[in-house]
A and B are shown apart, each in its own frame.
Chain A
Amino acid sequence: MPIIEVTELHKRYGDTVAVEDVSFTVEEGEIFGILGPNGAGKTTTVECIEGLRSPDAGAISVLGLDPRRDRAELRQRLGAQLQESSLPDKLTVAEALDLHASFYRRPADWNALLDSLHLADKRRARYRDLSGGQKQRLSIALALVGGPAVAVLDELTTGLDPQARRDTWDLIAQIRDSGVTIILVTHFMDEAQRLCDRLALVDAGRIAALDTPAGLIARAQQRQYVHFRASAPVEDAALTAQPEVDEVRRSGAQITVIGTGNLLYAVASVLARERIVAEELRVEQATLDDAFLALTGRRLQQ
């Protein structure tokens, strides 16, 4: 049974349509990703789910609650990490967690949270003295301190260094394994690919595709790219004669072969036959970025 249901959500700000007809469901215990470019309407969507904004049209149900009408109850059970928020400058990390823990009926053990977010040695530090990444991690801790059934994390790892990102991913996977349902808004394909059970690609206020990360990649898998530099001239026709090859592009000495199936093998056999050595040979696998391009006609990151 879905734990979150969003049906035909619409939201505009004046003339700007931020969300135009978004529907999806999230199952209990999954990590549901929302991926899309700047201004796609990701934050607006999750803020409607959190009850921070009221939709212009459409219905939302979270844990059987209406986010606007039952907000007091929802807030006991939904933890939110906002894309933009902060704490008073001179509040310390420990004070913030202790205070926020007191808001909830059944708070989590915040000392353990600090340990897993590598903030334990910062507990006496004031908010304004934390680095950007530490502030981000504190914000994640505050989203989890209430022991929520649902956690909504907007831009989870923006501003974190690679090690902190991987640690945060591990933490989120652990949290999910403990039964928490998670909505994850992100710009990062590696993050989505790594963490999400299912993923909605959002573009211009609409869901362009919704599938598992592997399913989305498979949809873009038809096209592969083989890049190389040829040691001697090679005819386009020799390459395009292969059934796997769709197209050959050249830029200077650099050749890119675009095609499907076992493309690398097809290209390599042509080159071997012509006694040409391929230098700087590189195969590009389809990524979520390609999936996004294939499904929306736009690149995720400009």
Chain B
Amino acid sequence: MTPTTRNPLRSLPVSVLAKLVSVEAKLLLREPGALAFGILFPSALLLGLGAVPLLREPSPEFGGLRFVDYWAPSALILGLGIMGLQHIPTTVAAYREKGVLRRMSTTPVGPGAVLVAQLIVAFASGVVTAAVLIASAWAVLDVSPPEQPWWFALSFAVGYGSLLAVGMLIAAVVPSVRLATGAATLAYMVTMVIGGVFLPRFFFPDALARLGDYTPPGVQAMLDSWSGEAVPDPLQLGTMALIGGVAAAVAARFFRWE
């Protein structure tokens, strides 16, 4: 296959990008599944688990925290994974398969701009997910908002940013929607397991738990800055930033435009 678009981003005025972002945002708002699972489900699940009294008791297993405090970042990851590793790869693969990107490549804006808009919208929806989760956990379960808000924001940005890059990498290289769905689901499951969504990481073998500290979206850095127990490890953030950067570069370089 010949790469048909060497510089997909051409000239992209801010006003045009803003319009694309607003259109992609509207399209996301028309996807009840992505909204429910990406944005609302994490909060609902955390609040649901918080209804179990035992999970609201401080426990030495969680470093003196309650389960709901300890597990809150994992709930967030559940939603970020839906957006970054499910919604992005399948939407982009469908855009390619159906000829949406092809149609865009006949316009002055080019197909790359659609992908940028997708990423911006996905990132913003992750911020909303986090905000809803933090607010509802605070209001209902008395989980205090991130103790180190700036570190938390940084951890979130690096972790979720790198997760989106991985999602875009899957979208970039898989040839069909079917394969995108398969690869996306696999990546999602692995990320959820490593992120301690299914089983608190406290039960993990040490190596697996450590792996999750360094791979996107980096549950430990979010936990540290949220609980204020420690400052996120710069090595963890740096590793994720590197993974994200490499994934983004490979995705951009090898993106199948058709």
B107–A86 CB distance below 8 A: no
Question: B99 → chain A, closest Cβ, in Å?
Answer: 4
Given contacts A102-B16, A102-B19, contact A85 B27 (CB under 8 A): no
| Interface Cβ pair total, 8 Å cutoff | 66
Determine the chain B residues whose CB is within 8 A of the CB of A86 once the complex forms.
98-100, 103
* Stretch of A87-95, A172-180, A280-288 that contacts chain B: A87-95
B106–A76 CB distance below 8 A: no
Bound-state Cα–Cα, A79 to B103, Å: 11
Chain A residues bordering chain B, tally (CB within 8 A):
30
Given contacts A53-B2, A102-B15, A102-B16, contact A87 B23 (CB under 8 A): no
Question: B201 → chain A, closest Cβ, in Å?
Answer: 38
Closest Cβ neighbor of B31 among chain A residues: A90
Bound-state Cα–Cα, A86 to B96, Å: 10
Q: Which of A79, A85, A146 contacts B99 (CB 8 A)?
A: A85
CB within 8 Å of A: which B106-128 residues: 106-110
Closest Cβ neighbor of A99 among chain B residues: B23
User: How many residues of B sit at the interface, in one of the four size bands?
Assistant: 20 to 34
B108–A142 CB distance below 8 A: no
A54 proximal to B (CB < 8 A): yes
Question: B240 → chain A, closest Cβ, in Å?
Answer: 31
B67 proximal to A (CB < 8 A): no
Given contacts A82-B102, A86-B100, contact A75 B23 (CB under 8 A): no
B98–A90 CB distance below 8 A: no
B176 proximal to A (CB < 8 A): no
Q: Which of A72, A79, A95 contacts B26 (CB 8 A)?
A: A95
Closest Cβ neighbor of B6 among chain A residues: A68
A234 proximal to B (CB < 8 A): no
A142–B103 CB distance below 8 A: yes
A84 proximal to B (CB < 8 A): yes
Closest Cβ neighbor of A76 among chain B residues: B108
B100–A72 CB distance below 8 A: no
CB within 8 Å of B: which A121-171 residues: 139, 142-143, 146
Question: A208 → chain B, closest Cβ, in Å?
Answer: 27
A52–B27 CB distance below 8 A: no
A-B contact pairs, 13 of them (CB 8 A): A52-B4, A54-B2, A72-B10, A72-B11, A75-B108, A82-B106, A88-B95, A99-B20, A99-B23, A102-B16, A103-B16, A142-B103, A143-B106
Residues of A within 8 A of B (CB): 50, 52-54, 71-72, 75-76, 78-80, 82, 84-88, 90-91, 95, 98-100, 102-104, 139, 142-143, 146
